[in-house]
Structure 1
Amino acid sequence: MTRNMKIILLSAISFVIIVVGVLGFIGNYFYNISINPKTERPFFDNNPDLSLAVPAMQMGEQVEKDREAAKQWVEQAPHSDVTLTSYDGLKLRGYEYRQEQASARWVIIAHGYMGYGKQMAVPSMKFHQQGYNVLLVDLRGHGESEGQYIGMGWHDRLDMVGWINQIMNHDSNAEIVLYGVSMGGATVMMTSGEDLPSNVKAIVEDCGYTSAYDEFSYQLKRLFNLPSFPIMTASNAVVNLRAGYDLKEASALDQVAKSKTPMLFIHGDADTFVPYEMVQQLYDAAQVEKDLFIVKDAGHGGAYLAGEAYWNKVWAFTNKYMS
C-alpha cells in the first residue's frame, strides 16, 4: 500500500469515527431530552403548542367547575393504592376508586407524556359518576412507578395488559374500557393490537400520535427546525440501546390495524402538538367498529373542554358495548 493510499484510508477512518461520535452525541442528547424521565425540558415551558384551546374556544362555566371539583375528588374520594409488577420486573403504581355498590364496570385511565395518574382527575370523576370502578395508573418512569425511561406507549402497552389481567383476577366478569389522552391515547391504541380478552369492551383515545418516531420527527422540525435524517436515525439507535425498543416499532398506527376492540378517536382540530392530521390516519387504519369526534378549536388535550358534548359522545360510544 502506497503512502498516499494509507493517508486516504486513515483520513476515511478518522472521518467515520468523527461522524459516528457526533451522531452518538446527538443521539444521546435526544435520548436525554425525550426519553429520560429525569431530564428537565425547558423548551416545553410556555410552549403554545400545549395550549388546551385557542381563543376562539372559551371554557364554559360548568367545565371550570368540573375541573375544580375533580381536583378535590381525586384526592379526597375513597381509593386504594395498588401495585403491579411489570413483565420486566418494575413496580408500577395505580390508584383504585371503586363504587360503593359492587359494579362490573371498569375503566383504566392512562395519562400523557411527563404526567401522572392523578392528573387525570376530570375523566376519573366522570367515569366514576357513570358507575365505573376507576383504575388510574402511573405509567413506567412517571409518578410513583419505577422505570428509567419513558416507554412512549410501547412497553406501556404490555403494562396495560398486566393491569387488565390484575382486574380480571379478582373480577372475571369485569367489563373494561381503556381511556387515554396524548401519550396515554397512544398507549391504549398500542394496547389495542395485543391479544386482549373479551372483557375489554371499548377503547377511547384522545389526541394520541401515529408512532413515537412520527411524533419526535414532527417535534424535531417544529421545535428546532431540524430534519428527521440523520438525527432521528442516530436517536433511534440510542433508544434501542438504552431503552430496548424502536421508535418506529412503537406504532399506534400498526396496532390499531390489528385491533379487534371498538374504538372512539378524539382530537382537537387546533392541536399543533400532536398534529390533527394524525387522527384521520389512525381512524382510517382501524378495521373495527369505530367513531371519530373532532372538537373545533380545541388544542392538545383540550377536547374535553367541549364539556357535555365531549362526555355525551364518550357515553354514547361506550354504552353500546357495556351490559
Structure 2
Amino acid sequence: MKMSKRTAAELVAPMLVASSFFGASLRLFNYAFKRVDYVPETSAEKQKYADAYWQYMDWYKQVNKATWQLHPNDAANHLVAHFIPAENSKRVVVISHGYKGNGSTMANYAQMFHQLGFNVLLPDNRSHGSSAGEYINFGWLDRVDYLDWLQMIIEKVGPEAEIVLFGASMGGATVEMMSGEKLPTQVKALIANSGYSSIEAELAYLLKKQFHLPKYPFVPLVSLINKRRLGYYLNAVQSTTQLKKNHLPIFFIHGDHDSFVPSEMAFDNYSATQGPRELWLVKDATHVESFWIDPARYQRHIVAFLKKYLPERK
C-alpha cells in the first residue's frame, strides 16, 4: 500500500517532536548536572560581599589543616576533604558546600565554627573540587559518602566526639537528606541553610523561572537521563522524605527573598521533620545571603540553637 505524503508527515512529526524534546532535555541535563572544574562567579547582588569573602578565603588558606581522603585507590570514587583542628576540643562540625562550589567556598562558616571551638571538616562533594565524579548528584549520593566521613571523624577524634552537620544550599539539602539515614550517636544536631525540598521541585521551579519551560516533558526526561548516568530517578532525591525519618534537632535558615530556592521549601522541610525543629526566616535575604547580611547576628542564632541541644560539658 502506497503511503501518502500527508500520512508520512503525520507519522514522522511526533518522532521529530519527541527527538527535539529529548535533545533539549539532554542539553539541560549536561548544563545542570555535568561537573565544572571552576567555581562560577557569584550573582551580581552578592558582589558587595566580595571583599569580606576573600578575607575569609585568606584565613582558610593560612589556617592549619590536614587533607583527608576516602577511597584513594579508586579513581572513580576518590573523595577529598580538609580538616581544621581545634585545640582541646571534641566538637566537630561537618560543612557541606553548595552547587558547583567546594569546601573552601565555605570558609566564612568554617571560621565562625572554628572560633566557637569546633574542629571543622570541609569535604569536596562528588564532582566538585578535588573529588572524583563526572556528574553532580545534588546531595543524594553525597549523603552516603558523608556517612563514611562521619566514621573517619569518630576514628580520628574519638568516640566521645560531638558532631554537628551544617550545609548551605545544595549542602543544606545534603544535610536534610542525611537526616533520614542511620547516623552515629555522636551526631547531635543539624543546621540546614537554604536547602530545597526535592530536586524535582527545584528543577521544575528553575525551568519555569529561568528558561520559561514547563515541567513536562523536560523533568521526566532529565530524570530518565539521570537514571542512565547515575543510577536513580530524580523522584528519589527528596529532603522531605528523608526528614520524615529524622528525630534529631534541626535548625532551618532561609531568606524570605530567595529566588533560587523559594522559601516555601523551607516550610515544607520544617513540616516534614519529626525531630525538635526551629526555622529562622531571614527578612530581605536572598539565596544563602543570611550570613552575609549580618555575620554577628547569624552567629548568635547558631549559638542559641546549639546551646539548647549541645550544652557545654562540665
TM over 0.5: yes
- What CA distance in whole angstroms lies between the structure 2 residues aligned with 1:45 and 1:100? 34
SS at match of 2:234: coil
1:82 has 2:80 as partner: no
Q: Is the 8 A contact 1:213 1:247 kept in 2?
A: yes
Deviations along 1:110-160, one digit per CA (max 9) or x if unpaired, are 110000100101110111111111001111000111001101011111011
Structure 1 residues 252 and 119: CA distance shift in structure 2, 3 A: same
Structure 2 CA distance for aligned equivalents of residues 278 and 68 of structure 1: 30
CA distance in 1, matches of 2:255, 2:204: 20
Match in the other structure for 2:298 = 310
Shift of the alpha carbon at 1:12?
A: 6.9
Q: How many residues align?
A: 308
Per-residue deviation, residues 218-240 of structure 1 (Å, max 9, x unmatched): 11000111111111111111111
The 5-angstrom pairing of residues 1-323 of structure 1 reads 14-15=12-13, 17-38=15-36, 51-52=45-46, 67=53, 69-85=55-71, 90-101=77-88, 103-170=89-156, 171-305=158-292, 306-322=294-310, 323=313
Question: What is the distance in 2 between the residues matched to 1:179 and 1:30?
Answer: 29
Q: 2:250 corresponds to which letter in structure 1? A: M
CA-CA distance at 1:40 after TM superposition: 9.2
Tell me by how many angstroms 1:22 deviates: 2.3
Stretches of structure 2 lacking an aligned partner (at least 5 in a row):
none
The answer to whether the 8 A contact 1:185-1:204 is kept is yes
Q: How far apart are 1:3 and its partner, in Å?
A: 5.5
Deviation at 1:19, TM superposition (A): 4.0
Contact 1:220 1:227 in 2 (8 A): yes
What value does the CA root-mean-square deviation take over the aligned residues?
2.7
Aligned partners of 2:236, 2:187: CA distance in 1, in Å?
24
- The 8 Å contact of residues 36 and 128 in structure 2, kept in 1 or not, is answered as no
Amino acid at match of 2:185: S
Give CA-to-partner distance per residue, 1:249-308, whole Å, 9 cap, x none.
Answer: 111111111112110000011111111111111111111101011111111110012222
User: Structure 2 length as normaliser, TM-score?
Assistant: 0.89
Identity, % of aligned positions: 35
Report the 3-state secondary structure (helix = DSSP H, G, I; strand = E; otherwise coil) of the residue aligned with 2:214: coil
The answer to whether the 8 A contact 1:85-1:91 is kept is yes
SS where residue 134 of structure 2 aligns?
coil
SS at match of 1:195: coil
Structure 1 pair 98–270 and aligned structure 2 pair: CA distance change class (3 A): same
Query: Given that residues 52 and 298 in structure 1 are in contact (C-alpha distance below 8 angstroms), is that contact kept between their aligned partners in structure 2?
Result: no
CA contact (8 A) 1:189 1:205 kept: yes
Counterpart residue identity of residue 161, structure 2: A
Q: Which runs of 5+ in 1 are unaligned?
A: none
